[in-house]
Every structure is written in C-alpha cells, then in structure tokens.
Chains A and B, each alone.
Chain A
Amino acid sequence: MSWQDQIGFPVLSVITFLPLAGVVLILVIDLLRRPAARLGADGAVEGAVRRQTWWPTTYKVISLATTLAAFALTVWVLFVFDKSTSQLQFVEDVMWVRRFNIHYSLGIDGIAALMLLLTTLLGFIVIIGSWHYIKDREMGFFVSLLLLQTGMTGVFCATDLVLFYVFWEAMLVPMYFIIGVWGGPRKIYAAIKFVLFTLVGSLLMLVAIVAVVWYVNGQGAGLTFDIRALSDVVYPYHLQFWAFLAFFLAFAIKVPMFPLHTWLPDAHVEAPTAGSVILAGVLLKMGAYGMLRFCLPFFPDAAVDFVPLVAGLSVVAIIYGAAVSLVQKDLKKLIAYSSVSHMGFVTAGIFAAIAVADNAAGMEGAVLVMFNHGVLTGALFLMVGYLYERTHTRQIAEMSMLATPLPVFAGFFLFFTLGSLGLPGLNGFVGEFLSLLGLFEYSHALAAIGALGIILAACYLLWMYQRTMFNDRGEAGVMPAVSLRDISPREIVSLLPLVVLAVWIGVYPNTFLDFLHTPVQYILQQMGPSIESARDGAVAHLIEATKGLF
C-alpha cells in the first residue's frame, strides 16, 4: 500500500528527514548569527557571539520541535496503519541509481512500525533529558542527536538493501561522535571499540549483500536490491549457510549476543546519558530487527539449522549477562550487562519460533521484549544520568539511602526497576513471558535455564536498588553529605511517557501485539517448509537428546 492511499503525503520520508531538517535550520541560523566568525580570531566578535544567550535555547527548541513532530507523525501513522495485512505500508518508491536498479524506497510493516514508534519516542525524550546535561560544545551534541535519529529511522523504514546499508552506516558516525566527544574518561577507547566491532559486522554484511544480489542477477532475474523481492528467492544451501553467517554476525554484534558483547559495557559507561539511552533503546534493536528482516526470510534453511546454536547462546547470554550484572560496581555497567541478558530473551524467542511449527507467540514476545527493553532500559539509563547530575558519581559503593533526600526519584526508579525485573502488570513481564513460552515449546530444558535469568534479574536489580536507595550499611546508615534536589518537573516530563507505556503494555499489550500478528505470520510463512524440516538438522539431535530428559 502506498502513501497516496493512506495518508496523502510521503509520511515516512518526512519522519525520517525532519530531524535532518532541524539540523539544517540550526546550522543556517548559526551561520547567520555570527557574520564575522569566518574572518578569523577576532576576540570581540567571538565574545559577542558567546553572549547571545538566546541561542542555546533556540537550537534546543528546534531539536525538540522536530523530534516531537516526528513522534506525532509516527503516532498518526500507527492510527492509520492497517493491522490486518502483512503488506508493506506507506510505501514510497523513487528510482535512485538507475544503472544498478537501486531505489530510494521506504515502507513499514507492523514490526517496523513499533520500532519506528520507539525511535521517535526516545528521540524526543533524550532531547528533554539532555537539556542541561552537556556543558561543552552543546550545539554539536544536539546536531549529532538529530543526525542519529535520521539514520535510525531510515534503517527501520528502508526497503531497499543499499538504502538500508547507507542508513546503517550513516548512523555510526553521529554515535561515534556522541561517545567520542561528549563521553567519559575512556571515551576514545570506547568509541573506537564500538565503531570497529560494528564495522567488522557491517563489512561482512556488505559482502553477503553483494553475494545475494549477484546470485539473483545470475539466475536471470535481473539486478534488484528490493528486500521483499530478494527474500522471496530460494537460495542454494551453501549460499544460505555463508550469507546467513555473515548477516547473522553483523546483527549478533549489534544485539549484542554473547560472546560479542564486550563493546557494549564500555560504550555505555563512557557515553553521555542520551547516548546510552539511544544505544540501549534503539541501536541494539537493529540487530534483532535485522535478524527478523534478513536472516530468517532470506535463508530459512540455514536459519533453522542454526537454531540450536543461537538458542543455546541466547540462554547463555541471559544467564551470563545477569550474573555479571550482579557484581558490577558502576550503575551504568550494571544496566549495560543487564541489556545483554534481556536481549537474550529476544534472540531466544525469535529463533525458538522458527524451530517448532505454530510457535508465533515466541516471536511476538521477542519483538515486544525489544520494545519493552527500549522503554525500561531507556528509562533506567535516563535516571542514572539524572542521578549522576546530582551525585557526580555512578559508583554504587558511593551511594546509600538516597530514598530519603530523593523520595519521588526513588519512586520512579523503583517503578522502572520493577518493570525491568518482570513484574506482572508492567510491560517487561508480558514480553519475557511470551518469549520464554516460545523457547519452552522448543526446549523445556533451555527455557528452564532461561527462567533462572528471571531470578537473577530480581537479584541484581533489587540488590542495586537496596544499595543505592535504601540503607545497606547497618547502624552507620551513611547519609549522603550533599543535600540533593529531588526530581525536577522537566525530568518527570521526560519519564512520564515511559511510565504510561510500561503500564499500558503491562495491562493491555494487545494494542501493540496486534501490530505483530500478521508480519510474524508472514515471516513464519516464508520460513514454512524449513520449519517442517527443522528436525533433520544435525545439531538439533543433540538438543533433541536434551529434551528427552523431560
């Protein structure tokens, strides 16, 4: 369905490039307001420019306005969205490079729609959250955030492989600067590590893209980069195997799956708050999104053969991430490792769904976990950032009893902590329940081990909460020396949408699950025959034997 039939203007392009338009506007005004700046180091002019106190507020307002507009449009799109079909919607298609038949084409299905919502939601929330956070080269920071959002939105909307790849890579650059310029003491190490890890993956993906397109062209089908068209092709097994591996590695690094996760804690610890929120909230989701979009429908036979490995690694990630979280001393690192654990539920749910017939619940749960993790972990990172602005530390050992000076803050913090540990009634529970259920259908033993992760989640989160907010030091009951200001209205505004979503999805997740039924069915249909033959996989026998235990 194209945009003409649905909304009357190319809405996806508008949502994607609104932040970029904001950047252009900011840069133009910035150039206009300092006419003499280019003439050289004239101290007087520089001083005059610096005294323009209206300017920081202006570029922040522009940033907020563009991201809010993008969010509002996304909500509109979700209202118009037809949930009964798995077809791509709001489709735009313009020829881009005629020689190679590369299109500028956008379109979303239900999965992409939810990711789009998450992206634009966190997009404006981090703008609010960073209002006073950055002290140095502030304008550049907001420009980077906006550029980043354009890149991320593009990734979820693109339906042309080349366009997808361009957005995928474009998004790296602003993130690199966000970590590398506005980060903590080891920012350079973290930024380079982040970029190198991702680049290794994306280069593998590039090779696989070329291989896939080359094969299709060689079959006489002509040159195409259209993702849906390419996913309908049946590839020979050896190509499936290697191309799957290349795509999978690229996405597994992004998720990140154990043992490719070590860039994440470093990146999170060094990144400024907004960077962490976007990183955990949106960037990680791209890995899982990529698996759903490419690994499964393109290479169904290979994907099914890899199920035992991926499901096993996912469960390892759940337990490993949780265990390592338990002993972290830095709040951000703790939440970073908990992300490894939570994303384990995602990959487990996705791959369990293709191992057993009629197991859509696992995949729907996995996508819901993606969304929930964005909401909850995004909120937790925001709050840790707010805490850092007050205490100037993230070391758990340096905090205690903060619930006394910060009662409202402690209330919000508890709320998101509980959501994150999977309290029924909040969103975290629904997703994890469904994805674990999917895993259970595949293997009782793996699901049982995965469920241990839920115990561990309660351990590390409640212990963390006790050590920071309550007294865990006995009689001494160290009170923080500084008098702290409780949460501010601006901070509450940034958290409220997330509170609403957490409760909404917890109480009535169908609003969101409804978006997933048809696209998940579509993926499973494309996988169809492979799922039936899943039992023939060589490694599967081993799991089969494990299942025999139950």
Chain B
Amino acid sequence: MEAADSMKIAVILIVLLPLVGFITTLLFGKRMGGKAHIVPVALVTVTAALAVYAFGWVFQHQEEPFVWDAFSWIVAGRYHASWGFQVDTLTGIMLLVVGIIGMLTHYYSIGYMRGDGGYYRFFAYLNLFMFAMYMLILADNFLLLFLGWEGVGLCSYLLIGFWFDRKSASQAGKKAFLVNRVGDFGFTLGMFLVLVTTGTLQFAGVFDKAETIGAGTLLWICLLLFTGAVGKSAQFPLHVWLPDAMEGPTPVSALIHAATMVNAGVYMVARAYPLFAQSETAMLVVMVVGTFTAIFAACIAITQNDIKKVIAYSTISSLGFMFMALGAGAWVAGIFYLFVHGFFKGLLFLCSGSVIHAMGGEQDMRKMGGLRTRIPVTFWTMLIAAVALVGIFPLSGFWAKDEILGGAFAHGYYVVWLVGIVTAFLTAVFAFRMMFMTFWGESRADAEVQAHIHESPKVMTVPLVLLAIPAAAVGAVVGWPPEAGWIHRFLDPVFFAVEHEEFEWLGTGGALMAVSLAVALLGVYLAYVLYLRRRELPERLAARVPWAYEASLRKMYMDDIYEVVPVRSTIAFSRFLWTGFDVHVIDGAVNGIARLWGWFGDRLRPLQTGRVHNYAFGILAGALALVVIVGWVWGI
C-alpha cells in the first residue's frame, strides 16, 4: 500500500511539474532572457527521474497495474469520467521513452535555440508538451487520453508554427492541427459509441465488457478509434501534415514528430488491444493501412532532398511498420519497435539538427557533402542511428524489425511480409543516400558556409552520445533472444492472449532474419553505388521513368489532391452558402417583406389627399358598404 502511495505522489508530480514549468516560464521567462531554460529543464529532469522511478515500480509489480481515480472530472446524466491514472507495463515502456528522450531534447535545445527571439516561449511550449504527453500515457480512460491527445496536438501546432513570421511555418502548424482534427472526429465518435455501448470510458471497465459488445458495433468502435490513430500517427491518407511539420525547430521534430507524439496512435491502438483483438476485420484494416503507408512513404523518402523531409517520411514509414505489426497480431513486436524507434529516430533528427546547425541553416542535402571529418561526433552518432534504422545486426532496429516481419510471416500474411521486406530495402537505400550525400564526397556548399562549418557545442553533442547508446544497444538488451526477450515477458500482462512462437535459429525464424539482414545490406550497397561511386546513375534512372520520379518528388500528389478536393471545395461551398443563401435567399426574403409593406404603404398614400370632399366621399362610401354588409349578414 505504501508503494502505491508513493506512486500517487510520483504520478501527480510527473504530470504537474511540466505544467508548473510551462506556467512559470510563460509568465516570467521573458525576464530571464537567456536563462529561461533553467526552470523548465530542471523540472523535466526531475520528471524524467520520476518516470524512471515509476517504471521501476511497474517492473516490480508487473501483474497488478497501478490504477488511481484522483478525482471526478465530468459527471452528467448517467455518465462519469474522472481524472484517473493508470500505470501498467505498457505505460512503463512509454514513460521511459517519453521521459528520457524528452529530457535529452530539452538539454539539446539549450544549445540549438540559443539566441532565438522566442527562447523562453520555446521552453514553455516544450514543457506544456511534456505535460500533455504524460497525461496521454498515464490516463486510465479514453476521455483523459483524449485530453492529452489534443494537448500534444496543440503543442505540435504551437511548435511547428514557432517561427510564425514565416508563412510556411504558420501554414504547416495549422495544417497539422486541422488534419489531426479529422482524425479526432473519428476518435470522438468512437468514444461516444464506446460510452453508449458500455456506459463507461474507463479502460478497465470497457475492456471487461469487450466480449459482450456485438461484432458490428465493435468493428465500428475499432475503426473510429483507428481513424484518430491514423491522424495522430500520420498514416495514409492523413499523413500529409507530418512532412510539413518539419517547419518547426529540429528538437521539436525529434521529440514530437518522431519519438513521442506520433507514437500516440500506436500506443492507443495497443492500449485498446482487448477491443481490436476481437475484431478480425478491424485488425485487417489496421494492418493494410500500416503496410501501405510503410511502403508508400518509403517511395517518397527516396527522392526527397531536404534532410529533414527524408527523416519525416522515414518516420511515417516506420509508424506504418508498427501498425503493420499490431494488425498482424504481433503486438509486442509493434511496441518493441515503437520503443527502439523512439531512440534511433529521435537521435537521427537531433543529428540532422546538428548538421543543419553546422551548415548555418541549410537543409538541402544537395548543398552538403564531406561533413564526415568536419563534425565527427554528429557523424558517428548519426551513423549509429542510421544503421539502427536500417536494421543491421546487432543494432536496435534489427531486432524489432525482424520480429515484425517474422510476426507477419508467422501469421500467414506473406504479402505483407514481402511488402515489409521491400520497404526495409527502400529504407536502407534512402537512409544511406542521406548519409552518403551528407557526410561523404566533396562539399557542395558555398565557400562562405564552408568556412563556418563547426561541430555543435557540448550541450548538444552530449545528448547525442547519450541517445546513441540506447539506439545501438537497447534492442539487443530487451529483445534477446528473439521472440522471447525480456520485453515479451514484460508486456505479457497487457497483451495477455498473444501466444509466443518458438524461435528457430535453423528454421524459418533464422532464415527470415538472414533475408531481412541481406536485404538491408543490399540496400546500403545500392545507395553506395548510386550516391557515391556512380553519381550520374540516379539522374539517368530518373530520366528513364520521369513519371515515377516526378510522382515521388511531388509526394504522390497528395497535397495537390487535398488542395482541390476538401480545401477549395469547402471554401467555395461556404461562399455559396453565405453570399448565395444567407444574403440573397434569407435576407432577401426578410428585406423583401419589408419592401412589400413599404410598397403597400406607398400605394395607400394617395388616399390621404387632404381634400375634404375626398374624405366626405370616403365616409359616404364606407357607410353605404356597412349598411350593405350588415343588411346581408342579418339577411334582410
């Protein structure tokens, strides 16, 4: 019981400290100038320690999650939702990712954002983000999860549009929020359906009744909730906001748009495992969307020239991988991938930030090259991240990716496995295309930029090194041996019904592993040939199939389609409603009636002539008429 009490305090502090940091920094940060980071960074450090503590608690109490209804939130009619918190093993994993990467990103930002006009504002938003993200993963009901969900969305909006004096930034922030709102629309309806069907939104309560929900309703619930996940985790067709989100400062891309927030959709689906696991159709939809997104985004990433855009599409692809895993029933593999992905993708972004920093703000890889020796720390850490992403033994990505592909294969989804392998191959190509274009070859930058190239300050490189350790090693640590690693046992209480297959080194498992490793190495070799040895080849290739190249470069025309179909048509329709209907039809009728009375009055005006004989005639006529009418009524 005592342990639970200390957990209450820990949970409350985890949530409140970043909020306190947000408020104090917003109010007093401006006056602190260049020291504005002290309070938020200190608070986030303490919070990270508490998150690790909470993880340690779950580690010791794996079988009985910590659930605590702090106080009621909304009580209306027969419904009830509360500020309730829950920490189980799944939450524990998320706490580690969010706490550690969140803290390191804060430190990194001290260097990256130095001298920016909105220095304090940046840290305030970052702390608000941490608050919302913790809320999201600690919530014990859908509604509170939604609060965190929208909260991180808001912070994403604020931080993408951080440099609001740039049109592209303010545009991208708005786009992110609005596209996510489309997903939230589904999520909200999903919550309604859950609430009406089960009478509660609390996870435990809903999942207890999961088996009593009719198949049709359950499918609707899952699909609607999944719509929310598609928005938040940038899956096709709602992925379009994530590449644009790169307008935000790079630490934001690392923390929010790679390591934490975008995982929220995956987390939510995993959290709703008891619902999804019962609906085969819903699982199939999740898998198909994930698989398609994975390869779709990889095809776009391969031609992008903006270093951050490459990583952004890679993130979309990776998230697709996670949904592929969940949908295929490889639940643990999906969360495993989420866990390691957070580290290496966050690292990849932070390294790209260090590159951009060195290049004086340049993001176009065509103007980079040869940075290997100029910024060695960044180079080595980024190399680790890239190798981990590509999934080469023995780095983190290898173990997680292999489990996903193995899971798909084991469940009989051979096509999905094949698409996954192709995606892995493309990932290797574009990741090392990026590495070769950035770090190898001769520099293509202007002389002026060249002169300024410098390694980032310690406050930035130390977090890189610290992140590189888990990015390299954590996969083997928690994932060894394959299919039976620590993470499997740890997550068992959450995904109770998942059966474990025996991994055969000399059977299917080993063969699949060899194939995926071979494919990754092949991809790296191809990138080496194309972008280092024979650099004229890519252009000739592009000239061969211009339509394919163009489509990839133009992001499969998704933005162009959205521009016309929902955006312009909505505005045109709204214009019609306003000027056509509101002004002309409704007000036309209103003013028409008024004018009719005016016209009527005008016609009557000649009666009032002011001449006595006219009135006398009127009186006589009226009297006669009265006599006639009265006579007629009385029937004389």
- In Å, the complex CA distance between A477 and B586 comes to 39
By a CB distance below 8 angstroms, the chain B residues around A227 are: none
Beta-carbon nearest neighbor of B168 in chain A:
A474
Q: A262-B590, A462-B174, A474-B167 are in contact. Are A364 and B189 (CB under 8 A)?
A: no
Q: Are B189 and A323 in contact, with the CB atoms below 8 A? A: no
Interface centre among B72, B150, B151 (most CB of A within 10 A): B150
From A126-134, A445-453, A537-545, give the one contacting chain B: A445-453
Closest-CB distance, A437 to chain B (whole angstroms) = 6
By a CB distance below 8 angstroms, the chain A residues around B72 are: 510
Beta-carbon nearest neighbor of B217 in chain A:
A550
In residues 177-195 of chain B, which contact A (Cβ within 8 Å)? 177-178, 181-182, 184-185, 188-189, 192-193, 195
By a CB distance below 8 angstroms, the chain B residues around A440 are: 189, 192-193, 196
Q: Are B75 and A510 in contact, with the CB atoms below 8 A? A: yes
- In Å, the complex CA distance between A436 and B195 comes to 12
Counting CB contacts under 8 A, is A423 at the interface? Answer: yes
Q: Are A358 and B77 in contact, with the CB atoms below 8 A? A: yes
Q: Are A364 and B178 in contact, with the CB atoms below 8 A? A: no
Interface centre among B77, B165, B170, B184 (most CB of A within 10 A): B77
By a CB distance below 8 angstroms, the chain B residues around A474 are: 167
Q: Are A365 and B76 in contact, with the CB atoms below 8 A? A: yes
Q: Are B582 and A437 in contact, with the CB atoms below 8 A? A: no
Contact digits for B66-79, partner A, Cβ 8 Å, 1 yes 0 no: 00000111111111
- In Å, the complex CA distance between A477 and B189 comes to 39
Q: A361-B76, A418-B154, A430-B74 are in contact. Are A437 and B195 (CB under 8 A)?
A: yes
By a CB distance below 8 angstroms, the chain A residues around B78 are: 358, 360-361
Counting CB contacts under 8 A, is A359 at the interface? Answer: yes
- In Å, the complex CA distance between A255 and B76 comes to 24
Q: A361-B77, A437-B79, A458-B181 are in contact. Are A323 and B192 (CB under 8 A)?
A: no
- In Å, the complex CA distance between A328 and B577 comes to 11
- In Å, the complex CA distance between A8 and B590 comes to 50
Closest-CB distance, B172 to chain A (whole angstroms) = 11
Contact of A454 among B161, B185, B196 (CB under 8 A): B185
Counting CB contacts under 8 A, is A81 at the interface? Answer: no
- In Å, the complex CA distance between A550 and B161 comes to 39
Counting CB contacts under 8 A, is B409 at the interface? Answer: no
Q: A472-B170, A508-B73 are in contact. Are A326 and B164 (CB under 8 A)?
A: no
Contact of A259 among B192, B193, B575, B586 (CB under 8 A): B586
Q: A462-B178, A471-B166 are in contact. Are A327 and B75 (CB under 8 A)?
A: no
Count, chain B residues at interface, CB 8 A: 52
- In Å, the complex CA distance between A365 and B79 comes to 12
Closest-CB distance, A456 to chain B (whole angstroms) = 8
Counting CB contacts under 8 A, is A393 at the interface? Answer: no
By a CB distance below 8 angstroms, the chain A residues around B582 are: 262, 324
Q: A463-B174, A470-B164 are in contact. Are A324 and B578 (CB under 8 A)?
A: yes
By a CB distance below 8 angstroms, the chain B residues around A462 are: 157, 174, 177-178
Closest-CB distance, B466 to chain A (whole angstroms) = 33
Closest-CB distance, A376 to chain B (whole angstroms) = 16
Q: A361-B79, A470-B170 are in contact. Are A437 and B192 (CB under 8 A)?
A: yes
Contact of B188 among A401, A425, A436, A459 (CB under 8 A): A436
From B333-341, B417-425, B452-460, B566-574, give the one contacting chain A: B566-574
- In Å, the complex CA distance between A469 and B167 comes to 11
Beta-carbon nearest neighbor of A404 in chain B:
B165
By a CB distance below 8 angstroms, the chain A residues around B192 are: 436-437, 440, 447
Closest-CB distance, B498 to chain A (whole angstroms) = 32
Beta-carbon nearest neighbor of B585 in chain A:
A259
B contact face: mostly helix, strand, loop, or mixed: helix
Interface centre among B75, B143, B170, B220 (most CB of A within 10 A): B170
Counting CB contacts under 8 A, is A403 at the interface? Answer: yes
A contact face: mostly helix, strand, loop, or mixed: helix
Contact of B171 among A430, A455, A472 (CB under 8 A): A472
- In Å, the complex CA distance between A473 and B165 comes to 10
Counting CB contacts under 8 A, is B587 at the interface? Answer: yes
Q: Are B167 and A477 in contact, with the CB atoms below 8 A? A: yes
Q: A423-B150, A434-B74 are in contact. Are A452 and B174 (CB under 8 A)?
A: no
Counting CB contacts under 8 A, is A424 at the interface? Answer: yes
- In Å, the complex CA distance between A472 and B161 comes to 11
By a CB distance below 8 angstroms, the chain A residues around B181 are: 454-455, 458-459
Counting CB contacts under 8 A, is A320 at the interface? Answer: yes
Contact of B185 among A361, A451, A469, A475 (CB under 8 A): A451
By a CB distance below 8 angstroms, the chain A residues around B143 are: 424, 433
Counting CB contacts under 8 A, is B52 at the interface? Answer: no
- In Å, the complex CA distance between A434 and B173 comes to 28
Beta-carbon nearest neighbor of B180 in chain A:
A458
By a CB distance below 8 angstroms, the chain B residues around A196 are: 594
Q: A323-B574, A424-B146, A454-B185 are in contact. Are A513 and B167 (CB under 8 A)?
A: no
A-B interface pairs (CB < 8 A), number:
147
Q: Are B170 and A466 in contact, with the CB atoms below 8 A? A: yes
Beta-carbon nearest neighbor of A260 in chain B:
B586
Counting CB contacts under 8 A, is B375 at the interface? Answer: no
Count, chain A residues at interface, CB 8 A: 63
Q: Are A458 and B73 in contact, with the CB atoms below 8 A? A: no
Counting CB contacts under 8 A, is B113 at the interface? Answer: no
- In Å, the complex CA distance between A174 and B425 comes to 74
Q: A193-B590, A441-B196 are in contact. Are A360 and B77 (CB under 8 A)?
A: yes
By a CB distance below 8 angstroms, the chain A residues around B71 are: 508
Counting CB contacts under 8 A, is A184 at the interface? Answer: no
By a CB distance below 8 angstroms, the chain A residues around B594 are: 196
By a CB distance below 8 angstroms, the chain A residues around B38 are: none
- In Å, the complex CA distance between A259 and B571 comes to 20
In residues 555-591 of chain B, which contact A (Cβ within 8 Å)? 570-571, 573-575, 577-578, 582, 586-587, 590
By a CB distance below 8 angstroms, the chain B residues around A444 are: 189, 193
Q: Are A470 and B161 in contact, with the CB atoms below 8 A? A: yes
Interface centre among B189, B578, B594 (most CB of A within 10 A): B578
Contact of A466 among B147, B149, B174, B586 (CB under 8 A): B174
Q: Are B74 and A326 in contact, with the CB atoms below 8 A? A: no
By a CB distance below 8 angstroms, the chain B residues around A469 are: 164
Counting CB contacts under 8 A, is A290 at the interface? Answer: no
By a CB distance below 8 angstroms, the chain A residues around B171 are: 466, 472
Contact digits for B144-162, partner A, Cβ 8 Å, 1 yes 0 no: 0011011100100100010
Beta-carbon nearest neighbor of B588 in chain A:
A262
By a CB distance below 8 angstroms, the chain B residues around A433 are: 74, 143, 188
- In Å, the complex CA distance between A360 and B77 comes to 4
Q: Are B76 and A513 in contact, with the CB atoms below 8 A? A: yes
- In Å, the complex CA distance between A434 and B196 comes to 12
Closest-CB distance, B314 to chain A (whole angstroms) = 28
Counting CB contacts under 8 A, is A509 at the interface? Answer: yes
Contact digits for A190-231, partner B, Cβ 8 Å, 1 yes 0 no: 000100100000000000000000000000000000000000
Binding site for B on A (CB under 8 A): 193, 196, 259, 262, 320, 323-324, 326-328, 358-365, 401, 403-404, 411, 418, 423-425, 429-430, 433-434, 436-438, 440-441, 444, 447-448, 451-452, 454-455, 458-459, 462-463, 466, 469-475, 477, 507-510, 513-514, 516, 550
Q: List 15 A-B contacts (CB under 8 A).
A: A323-B574, A324-B582, A326-B571, A360-B77, A364-B76, A418-B154, A429-B150, A433-B143, A434-B79, A451-B188, A454-B185, A455-B182, A470-B161, A473-B167, A513-B76
| Interface contacts beyond A358-B78, A454-B184: sample of 16 additional A-B pairs, CB < 8 Å, sorted by A | A262-B590, A326-B570, A328-B578, A359-B77, A364-B76, A365-B76, A423-B154, A425-B147, A444-B193, A451-B188, A451-B189, A455-B185, A458-B177, A470-B165, A509-B73, A509-B74
Top 6 A-B pairs, shortest CB-CB distance: A361-B77, A360-B77, A470-B170, A424-B147, A470-B164, A323-B574
